[in-house]
Amino acid sequence: MTFVARPVTVFLLTAFTKFSIKKKTFISWSGIRGTVPIVLATYPLIAGLDPNHQMFNIIFIAVILSIVVQGSSLNKIANLLKLTTKKKKKVLNSMELVTVHDTDVDLIEIFIDDELYSGECLVADLNLPPNSTITMINRNNEVIAPSGQTVILPGDVLYVLVEKDNIDMAIDEILSNFEKINY
């Protein structure tokens, strides 16, 4: 059932979806889990059709094996099929600027993850929130003082001076100028 019936069923039921072959294969491997098969196995037991509990025991063991074998291998299968992505980490560090007066401005660090994003953009093309500026770009451990004509690339680490209330807006504006890679 694990290697024939379920994959055939999954591929038939998802034939008209936009799921890739890799995703359909992953769904096929996911297997039966939970209480539904066990609850269904209790019906013949209650009706007296399984007096020795043999059918119930077989189904119970099958579910447990499915949970142990397939459940413990899901992460490995997802990695093998390249269906996993790194967690998007928008702000690596945030430094509050210490001045004589209180300030609502932070210097944040934004990493343009080259495993999540592709493309490029000019600093001048960004529509950053008011009172925000990219103060420095770190590219391959080389510091770049950006101008409007500076190209931002995946793999770059940007240091952005931005008002605290506008941090999310600045991050979203920068990342939205890159194409997200879909695996």
116 CB-near residues (< 8 Å, 6+ apart): 85, 86, 88, 154, 180, 181
* pTM (two decimals): 0.50
Q: Is the pLDDT of residue 96 over 60?
A: no
- pLDDT-derived band at 147 (thresholds 50, 70, 90) equals very high
pLDDT of residue 100: 53
- pLDDT-derived band at 90 (thresholds 50, 70, 90) equals low
Of the spans 40-44, 89-93, 112-116, 157-161, which averages the highest pLDDT?
157-161
Identify the helix (H) or strand (E) that includes residue 162.
strand 157-163
Q: Which residue ranges make up each domain of the chain?
A: 5-80, 91-180
Average pLDDT of the segment spanning 62-88 = 81
Average pLDDT of the segment spanning 100-112 = 82
In the block, which residue shows the tokens 């098969």? 37
Q: Is the pLDDT of residue 97 over 60?
A: no
- Quickly count: other Cβ atoms within 10 Å of residue 82's Cβ: 9
Q: Is the pLDDT of residue 139 over 60?
A: yes
pLDDT of residue 61: 87
Average pLDDT of the segment spanning 114-130 = 92
pLDDT of residue 160: 93
Q: What is the largest CA-CA distance in the chain?
A: 83
Average pLDDT of the segment spanning 48-53 = 88
Average pLDDT of the segment spanning 40-52 = 87
Tell me, what amino acid is at 49?
L
Q: Is the pLDDT of residue 31 over 70?
A: no
Does residue 39 or residue 147 have the better pLDDT? 147
pLDDT of residue 95: 54
Query: Is the domain defined by 91-180 classed in CATH 3.30.70.1450?
Result: yes
74: phi > 0 → left, psi -120 to 50 → alpha, else beta; which? alpha
